[in-house]
Amino acid sequence: MKPAPFAWCAPATLDEALDLLAGHADAARILAGGQTLGPLLNMRLATPSILIDINGIGELAGLHPDLAGLTIGALTRQSTLEDDPALAALQPLIAMAIPHIAHRAVRNRGTVGGSLAHADPAAEWPALVTLLGAQLLARSKSRGMRLIGADEFFITHLTTALAPDELLCEVRVPPSPPGAGYAVLEFARRHGDFAVAGAMVRLTSDAGGKLTDPRLVLFGTGRRALRARRAEAMLAGASAGTALFAAAAATAATEIDPYDDLHASAEYRRHLAEVLASRALEEALARMNGKRHD
Ligand SMILES: Cc1cc2nc3c(=O)[nH]c(=O)nc-3n(C[C@H](O)[C@H](O)[C@H](O)COP(=O)(O)OP(=O)(O)OC[C@H]3O[C@@H](n4cnc5c(N)ncnc54)[C@H](O)[C@@H]3O)c2cc1C
């Protein structure tokens, strides 16, 4: 199929883009990398009358580390992050997760903002910003600037808190805590496919070896990436160990609301979630203790 007819605008500045959105919000779609929107247009699952192509707005792209953490422009390509040698030291989990996103050809065009705005529950970026406690900066003519916490940004499957006239402009990720160990594990049917289920973990500990502020996020297992807060509560203040991790993973699997689809049953997703969570906890511990360096 071919897309339904649409007008195409390529604003050169953020201000122009926001003006266009203000004038056409309900009829317009933002075009970033086009890796998701392109197929949606071709299949006429999206029929906007105007496309606002933000690829010429240079200020929306790039990485800016500072004392408050790392700011990532919404138009930053996945491959730009993948190729940045500084990323692994700044935000190890992001560096670990990017290679799981699709194939290199998709990562060459696909953007951080496009992935977040699309809000696929099996995508890596929603899980990343949820685990890392990031804030998402949106701008519009009517509301000005709005910082939205990752916990509030994702409403449900393919639905975010962005208003129709809002443009997602950047992601602000707090600094990685000293000594943190991370892991991302997922199961996909083929390399480059979306995860059937995945788990991300961050572990830190105090001087006495007790876990502090543990984070466990499951994705592909419900209508949005989910922090398994009951499992996190079991881990917080405890000494790490295989029995504890197994119990926390089993609890995490009760917190999700998985679905059946062509790729897997809900029951299988719940099983995967438990296995991946338990393994991710072990991996993150090994990295926190300096026993793994990959
Ligand atoms: C074969 C294939 C495999 C894939 N596998 C994975 C995978 O394993 N994991 C994964 O996470 N993703 C995967 N993807 C999706 C890929 O990461 C896309 O690049 C991403 O979801 C969309 O990014 P984009 O820049 O191409 O956005 P676009 O396609 O341009 O836009 C996507 C949506 O977001 C909106 N949008 C874009 N930017 C903004 C903005 N700044 N503000 C507001 N709204 C905006 C658009 O209007 C549109 O509705 C895959 C895609 C393909 C084609």
Q: Where are the domains of the chain?
A: 7-53, 58-173, 182-286
Measured in Å, residue 291 CA sits from the centre of ligand 1 at 35
Q: What is the reported pLDDT for 294?
A: 82
pLDDT along the chain (294 residues), means of 10: 93 98 94 97 95 98 94 98 96 98 97 98 98 98 97 96 97 97 96 95 96 98 97 98 97 97 96 98 96 83
CB 112 within 8 A of CB 140: no
Measured in Å, residue 6 CA sits from the centre of ligand 1 at 20
Q: What is the reported pLDDT for 263?
A: 92
Q: Pocket of ligand 1, candidates 14, 24, 37, 153: which has the most ligand atoms within 8 Å of its Cβ, to mutate? A: 37
CB atoms within 10 A of CB 199: 33
Ligand 1 neighbour 220 (Cβ under 6 A) = no
Q: What is the reported pLDDT for 57?
A: 98
Measured in Å, residue 79 CA sits from the centre of ligand 1 at 13
Measured in Å, residue 16 CA sits from the centre of ligand 1 at 22
CATH of domain 182-286: 3.30.390.50
What stretches of the chain show up as alpha helix (H) in DSSP? 14-24, 37-42, 78-82, 87-90, 92-97, 104-109, 112-118, 124-132, 150-153, 229-235, 242-255, 266-288
Ligand 1 neighbour 167 (Cβ under 6 A) = yes
DSSP 10-34: --SSHHHHHHHHHHHGGGEEEESS-
Ligand 1 neighbour 160 (Cβ under 6 A) = no
Residue given tokens 């090994």 in the structure block: 286
38 burial via Cβ count (<10 Å: 0-12, 13-18, 19+): middle
179 burial via Cβ count (<10 Å: 0-12, 13-18, 19+): middle
Cα 217 from chain centre: 11
> pTM of the predicted model, to two decimals?
0.97
Q: Which atom of ligand 1 is nearest to the CA of 169?
A: 41
Domain 7-53 sits in CATH 3.30.43.10: yes
Ligand 1 neighbour 119 (Cβ under 6 A) = no
Q: Which atom of ligand 1 is nearest to the CA of 35?
A: 26
Q: Which atom of ligand 1 is nearest to the CA of 100?
A: 8
Ligand 1 neighbour 80 (Cβ under 6 A) = no
Domain 58-173 sits in CATH 3.30.465.10: yes
Q: How far apart are CA 282 and CA 279, in angstroms?
A: 5
Q: How far apart are CA 47 and CA 251, in angstroms?
A: 42
E strand intervals along 118-166 = 135-140, 144-149, 154-156, 159-160
